[in-house]
């Protein structure tokens, strides 16, 4: 899935990361930000990872979102090879529940930052990428402001409903909806 002139590169160590990473893709789609999606493994395709990271900025990519699980070296290694900001998504794992991925991605040495989101929270990675781009794009910034306003309103609506129904009926209604 590569659009023309992608601004965001969404990469992941394995196709098994895609169910998590799809939420970052969805955010780019929602904000109509051009993006590309690729499987680039730090361990299984290290040469291609180097090639990707060293050339992404030359192709017009502005932000890289990198998701990985377990040993999760992809975000840090890509960050060490690119001048672009890198957002790391720790993918949840079977035995250690993604704590392994989180520690691996977040514990970068001084000089090579990776902006790390919560375990499994590729949606926030997408939003952060959009906000980085919006810092010098006023029409995108307006979309971010509108998104935040909607978020605010949805919480206000929940509060009104909770007040009106009381917690028991509110919970009943939530259960019926799920």
Angle at CA of residue 177, ends 174 and 178, nearest 5°: 90
Positions 77 through 96 that interact with ligand RP5 (CB under 6 A) = 91
Separation CA 91–CA 68 (nearest Å):
5
Q: Answer yes or no whether residue 69 interacts with ligand RP5 by CB under 6 A.
A: yes
Q: Answer yes or no whether residue 21 interacts with ligand RP5 by CB under 6 A.
A: no
Q: In what side-by-side order are the strands of the sheet with 35-39?
A: 35-39, 8-12, 63-69, 86-91, 115-116
| Closest among 32, 44, 41, 33 to 11, alpha carbons compared | 41
**CB atoms inside a 10 Å sphere around CB 172:** 12
Q: Answer yes or no whether residue 75 interacts with ligand RP5 by CB under 6 A.
A: no
Q: Contact with ligand RP5 (CB under 6 A): which of 17, 87, 122, 123?
A: 17
Minimum distance of ligand RP5 from residue 177's CB (angstroms): 32
Q: Answer yes or no whether residue 16 interacts with ligand RP5 by CB under 6 A.
A: yes
Report the residue number, 7 or 36, with the smaller CB distance to ligand RP5: 36
| Closest among 98, 115, 106, 120 to 24, alpha carbons compared | 120
Q: Contact with ligand RP5 (CB under 6 A): which of 22, 30, 34, 41?
A: 41
Stretch that binds ligand RP5, among 65-73, 76-84, 123-131, 148-156 (CB under 6 A): 65-73
Positions 99 through 138 that interact with ligand RP5 (CB under 6 A) = none
Is 157 in a helix, a strand, or coil? helix
* Residues in contact with ligand RP5 by the rule CB under 6 A: 12-14, 16-17, 41, 43, 68-70, 91
């Amino acid at each position: 899935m590569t659009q023309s002139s992608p601004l965001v590169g969404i990469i992941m160590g394995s196709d098994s990361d895609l169910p998590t990473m799809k939420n970052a893709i969805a955010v780019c789609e929602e904000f109509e930000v051009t993006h590309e999606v690729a499987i680039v493994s730090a361990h299984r395709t290290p040469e291609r990872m180097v090639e990707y990271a060293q050339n992404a900025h030359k192709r017009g990519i502005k932000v890289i979102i990198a998701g990985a699980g377990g040993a999760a070296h992809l975000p840090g290694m890509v960050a060490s090879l690119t001048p672009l900001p890198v957002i790391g998504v720790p993918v949840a794992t079977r035995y250690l529940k993604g704590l392994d991925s989180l520690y691996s991605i977040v514990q970068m040495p001084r000089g090579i930052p990776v902006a790390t989101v919560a375990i499994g929270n590729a949606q926030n990675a997408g939003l952060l990428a959009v906000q980085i781009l919006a810092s010098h794009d006023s029409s995108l910034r307006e979309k971010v402001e509108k998104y935040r306003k909607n978020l605010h309103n949805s919480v206000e609506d929940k509060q009104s409903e909770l007040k009106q129904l009381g917690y028991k009926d509110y919970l009943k209604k939530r259960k019926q909806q799920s």
